[in-house]
Structure 1
Amino acid sequence: MPQPLRRWPDDLAWTANAGALRPKLAPWIVRVSAEWAKVQIHLGLVLAATLDAEAHAGVHMYLALTGSAAQEAALSAAVNTQLPEAYQSAFVDILRKYRACARQRNRIVHCLWGVSLKYPNGLINCPPENIILGAISKSAPRDDVLEKCMVYTEKDFFELCDAIQALGIDAYSFVIKASLFHHPTQFSSESERLQVLQTFFPATKPVHQNARNSRLKGSGS
């Protein structure tokens, strides 16, 4: 997990050019965004598979909703009315993971990024509202801004991407299960279901394993 910025470096600079100054870390921000988009696609497919014959109208209404809370409520209502209790429990777990990942993803996407020579392998993250509160604070402004600043390393980005991708796999697995509930003969075997998953995630394990091995090698472990 990212670590809090405990002291304000004298050379700390908030800049839109922070990614260019940390070229090894910048691509991870793009990947977080891309992995999150996949999750949103799969949640939409959850609704389509759950509603089955009524999917066309239901999905259009779902996409017209603004805000994740409204979309979550629509998804939960569909699952709770169209699928058995065991499916409902599984979906509650998916939503729990979704909310946890969403908080971390939002922090990365909706923020200011800064750099300092004291953190040559890190990007410093701060919510913009914290800068505003610091500007109007009666105490030392830097102390108020510092409160929510976090330092992200490559390991932190990797772990978040890993969690988001795992969430996407869980969501798409649920799509298959919901489809099978309505159409039990859709897949002839468990292996056929896995093949479908692999078309959406063709290199999940090798990519992650290579990244882990590379990180461990670099740390001398």
Structure 2
Amino acid sequence: MNQILAVALGGSFGAVIRFLVSSGIYQWLGRGFPYGTLVVNVLGSFMLGLLTESLMQQRLTITFEYRAAILIGFIGAFTTFSTFSLETFYLIEQGNLTKAALNIFTSVMACIFAIWLGLLCGRGLFYYSDGVIQWSGGMIPYALMTINAIGAFLISIIATILLHKVALAVEYRVVLTVVMVGIFLTLSGLYLLLFLVEHGFSFDAHLNLMLGTFVGNSLICISVIWMGLLVGRQI
């Protein structure tokens, strides 16, 4: 039951973010081609490859529901093969065979490349010392923190596009941004703490390490988010 609830929660967030991202892309580039669906599928494929390596291959038993919420729930709802199929069929039905073929080829090849790139990045990060810097009495999970930074950068760019391309009131834009950033910082920090707990650290004996890891991750992600906002404004 916990796993079902985790998938449902992750899926609800993924579906909403997919709608906002695809809507923003369509308002930006128009509906002459399925740009919105292509973007969410490529982004989702990259994140799936990257997070599969970090969340599944590391096999942290304490975070099974956490992984299900992200990989199955969020990314499963964020990406959409059915919409890709429907939009391709509409292109064929309208006689736009070139666009239909281009959509099929681009979507399949770009998503496969994104998956490969995500897996490659994930494996590279965990190649040396299993992605951690360890010393007597502590460790820094630098691989997971780097993955969090990559996710923060992508989220900030997406948020910037949404703020400028989707017709939302200013107060809704502010709330949306704060909620997205807050949820990401909380979940990314939580996973780092669970990682440390899985490796034998506890709040009672290693409070400074726990707090330092959470705060450090938050500061890094906030800095990267700021950089992503600057980049997003130039797109």
Instruction: With the length of structure 2 as denominator, give the TM-score of the two structures.
Output: 0.35
Q: Whose relative contact order is higher, 1 or 2, with alpha carbons under 8 Å and at least 6 apart?
A: 1
Larger radius of gyration: 1
Instruction: With the length of structure 1 as denominator, give the TM-score of the two structures.
Output: 0.36
Query: Going by fraction, where is helix more abundant, 1 or 2?
Result: 2
